[in-house]
Structures are given as structure tokens and as C-alpha cells.
Amino acid sequence: MDEPDTAAILPGDVLSATSADGPTADRDSSSGKDEAAAPSRCSGPVLVSVEPVLFLSMFSVALQAPLATQYLWDRISEDLGYNGSKRSECSNGSVAPDPLQKEVETLTAHWNLYISLGGFTLGLLVVPLLGSWSDLAGRRPVLIIPNFGLALQAAVYLLVMYLKLPVVYFLVGRLLSGLLGDFNAILAGCFAYVADASDRRSRTFRVAVLEACLGLSGMLASIIGGQWRKAQGYINPFWLVLATSLAAALYAFLFVRESIVPDPSAKLVTTRHHKAVWHLYATGGSSSEGGGGFHRCKLWLYTLCFFLVVAVHFGCRDLYVLYELSSPLCWGSALIGYGSAAQHLAYLSSLLGLKLMQYCLKDSWVALVGLLSNIVGLLVFSVADTTQLMFTGYGLCFLFMTAMPVLRSKLSKLVDPSEQGALFASVACVETLCYLVGSGVFNSLYPATLHFMKGFSFLFAAIILLIPAGIIGILQCLDQRRGHRAAS
């Protein structure tokens, strides 16, 4: 079979009868197990890719996340009789902190923790199944089913708001979404789809384009959500959350073509999917045969880096709203929306920065620059006591997302094309664990450290990011040394 021209591939195209890294025929001739394991690619171009699905899904998630936290704050304040005396604290620095405000902060952080733990615990079990299953059953089901889960969660939240139900029903909605895969399953499906459609040379940038879709939709949702909540309250924005989740599912069903040939007999509930993930990390995958233990070690270390970076990112995400709502900042919904938009704008600046830095730096050094940007921004957040300083922190984080697409790409390049499904299932599992651990650690750490340093959680996050920075730098130096030895 003739090899297609990979240089002409558009964002929605796939490689006909080729792997993500090159023609499968070359590998099949040398390994019978690769031929048996490799998923079949659909022939012909896929004219519409997954970027719109990810954009709509992220819009739904980014619109509801800060609004849900603010709603919890308002409901808990109402239940405790807290009447917003924080405003006087902001205008007069000599006023002692209101003990009710600290109680509201603590309870809101704890409810965020319970809701996150509930959804992510279920996701930890469901997402690996869906991700690995998509390697056989196709990518489209994993793009459709979790979006229905997000829509169901939004419907439950709307019932809570209309009927003034106890906030514990927020946890019920989150559990229903987690049972259907949650947003992490959508991420797994989208990145696996891109792995099907890209070669090694273009993969890092293609992954960064998906990350930029996350940022652009998050930025728009943050601006719209903050202004809309200020003008009309919570209910109408949550109707948009419901609509965008359903629109994403409908778009995937009608317009996204499969990137692999689905197997109608593929079963979802089976131990095969978990075994595939275990085999990948226990042996290092088929491509480790020439690299031995070093190859397997790199797979584990890059996964650890990914875990730490994502855990810090999502662990801090909930804290930004709490930090901004309380004194000394005391932001309203509009400023919170602008702050969240500034954070998501870094997705776009990171995409541009990654593309420019790739002309003169290897991917590992690009990731280190991104981690440095994140660390400096977190250090500023830890001492921010004015609006100007808080936005300075957001500005310094303008490259903080470059590390994530680099790590996803490096993990993808470490395994064979026949193992991409198992890899992205494991990455989705790790990402779910990141949400779980990040939310648990930071939502517990924040109220526990309010009495001696309000921004200590951000300082702790900056210290944690030094670990992946060191690992990435050391691995890159080792790779360069091995390359020099091989050349000589």
C-alpha cells in the first residue's frame, strides 16, 4: 500500500493504513504481535476533527466550575447568617477578620473537596475502561457518553437552585457525571484521536492545539459566566452549561468521523482494558525491547512528572476563587471572571510560545521554561494582597501550559502505535488521580494554613513543581549524552 503524504494532513485528517509514527507495514513485517494488536485506521480523510467537541465540553466545565463555588459560598453564607461583612474588612485593614467568613471559607473548601472526591473516585474506575475500550470500539462513543454525563450534572445543579435543595445534591450530580466518564474521558478520547491522526514530528504541536482549545473556551466561559452571574444570577448560566454539553455530544455524533475501524464485538466491562494498561507500565511496552530498563524508567518518570504538574494545576484551580472572594482581595463575580479569563488566556500564549520556542529549543527545554513561568506566578500568588499583584501573577504564568503538551507527546512517542489506546487510558487514569489528589491535598491544606499564611498553598505548589523540572532536565541531559555516544 502506498504511503500517504503526511505533510498535507489537516487537523481533522487521519493517516490511511499508517500508525501515528509511520507505516504499520514496516512494524508488522518485524513483529507479529504488533500486527495483531494494532488498531485498524479508517481509510480516507477525516474532514472534521475533535477540536470543536473539546471546545464545547471545556466551555461547559469552565462556565460551571467558578459559578458552582460561588453558589456554594452564597448558600453556606445564607445558612450561617454571614451577611457579607467582608466588605468592611476590605475598606478598613484594621478591622479584625470576621470568624464567620473563615467558617464560610472552610466549609466551601470542604464541600469542594467532597464533590471532587466523589466524582473523581468514580472516574478513576470508569475512565480507564472507556479510554482503553475506545481503542477497539472507536473514539466517538467516548466523546458522546461523558458529555451526556456533564449535561446530567448540570440538570441536577439546576434542580438544586430552583428548589433550594441542600448542597449535598451537588455531590449527587457530580457522581452521575463521574459514572459516565466525566470530562477526563473526553480528554482521553480527544488526545487518542489526535494520536491516530498525527506523526511524531507534528504531535507536540497538535496536542498543544487541543490544549489551546481548552484555554480559549475556558477564557470565554469565564468572562461570560462572571458578567452573566452578576446580571442575572446563577440559573440562566447553568442552562447554557446544559445546552453546551448536549451540543458537544450532538456534534460528535453527527460530524466527527471515526479515526479507527470499530470492532462491534468490543466489550466495555472486561478486565482486558486494565490488563493492557498494567502490561504497558510493567514491561515498558513493545518499543522498549531495544531500550531495556531505561525506556521503562522514562515511561514511569514522565508519568510522574505529568502527575505532579496536573495535580498542582487542578489542585490550585479551586483555590483561586476562594482566595479572591475573601479578604484582602474581596473580588466580585466580574473580577473573578476576568481573573479566570486571564488564567485561561495562558493556554493561547503557551501555544504561541511553544511554537516559537520549538524553532530553537528541544521539547524538554520548552517544558522547563513553562514550569519556570508557573513557579514564578505561584510565588506571586502566595503573597498577593492587591488586585494588581494578583493579575501580575496571572501575567507571569503566561507559559505555564507548555509543559503539559510536551509531556503528553513524550509519553505517546515512547510506545508503539498498537499501544496508543492503552497509553491514553493510563494517562486518563493518572489525570483522574491528579484531580483526586490535587483537590484533596489543596482543599485540605488551604483552610488548615489560613491562620499563619493565606497563600501558603501556592508556595507549596511552587515547591512541588521543582520536582518535575529536575526530572525533565536530567532525562534530557541523559538522552543527549546517549545520543553523543551513539554518534561517536
Given a contact cutoff of 8 angstroms between Cβ atoms, the answer to whether 390 and 329 are in contact is: yes
The confidence score (pLDDT) of residue 86 equals: 46
Spatial distance between the Cα atoms of 124 and 139, rounded to a whole number of angstroms = 19
**Cβ neighbours of residue 243 closer than 8 Å, sequence gap 6 or more:** none
pLDDT, residue 173, reads 95
Q: Is residue 444, in this structure, part of any structural domain at all?
A: yes
Q: For residue 223, what pLDDT is reported? A: 79
Q: Which three cell numbers stand for residue 293?
A: 530498563
How crowded is residue 179: how many other Cβ atoms within 10 Å of its Cβ?
Answer: 16
C-alpha cell at 322: 476562594
For residue 340, give its domain range. Answer: 48-84+99-261+287-487
Q: Is residue 200 in some structural domain?
A: yes
CB 403 within 8 A of CB 309: yes
Would you state the pLDDT for residue 390? Answer: 94
Specify the number of domains making up the chain: 1
Contact 177, 149 (CB under 8 A): yes
Neighbours of 356 (CB within 10 A): 11
- What integer pLDDT is reported at residue 9 of this predicted model? 34
- Cβ pair 133, 339 in contact under 8 A: no
> What global pTM score does this model have?
0.73
What is the grid cell recorded at 355?
511554537
pLDDT, position 26: 37
Q: Is residue 273 part of a domain?
A: no
**In this structure, what CATH number is given to the domain that contains residue 146?**
1.20.1250.20
What SS3 class is residue 43? coil
Closest of 230, 255, 194, 278 to residue 14, by C-alpha: 194
| Within-domain flag for 388 | yes
CA distance 141 to 480: 41
Task: List CB contacts of 164: < 8 A, sequence separation 6 or more.
Answer: none
Query: Residues near 90 by Cβ (< 8 Å), separated by ≥ 6?
Result: 327, 328, 329, 330
pLDDT digit string, tens, across residues 44-81: 444 458 899 999 999 999 899 889 988 999 999 988 88
Q: Are 131 and 38 in contact, with CB atoms under 8 Å apart?
A: no
**Segments of the chain scoring below 70 in pLDDT:** 1-48, 84-97, 271, 273-274, 284-292, 417-418, 421, 488
State which H helix or E strand residue 443 sits in: helix 420-448
Segment 214-253, tens digit of pLDDT = 878 888 887 788 789 888 889 999 999 999 999 999 999 9
DSSP H helices in 43-181: 51-80, 86-91, 99-137, 140-163, 168-179
402 belongs to a structural domain: yes
Residue 442 placed within a domain: yes
On whether residue 29 sits in a domain, the answer given is no
**Is position 90 within any domain?**
no
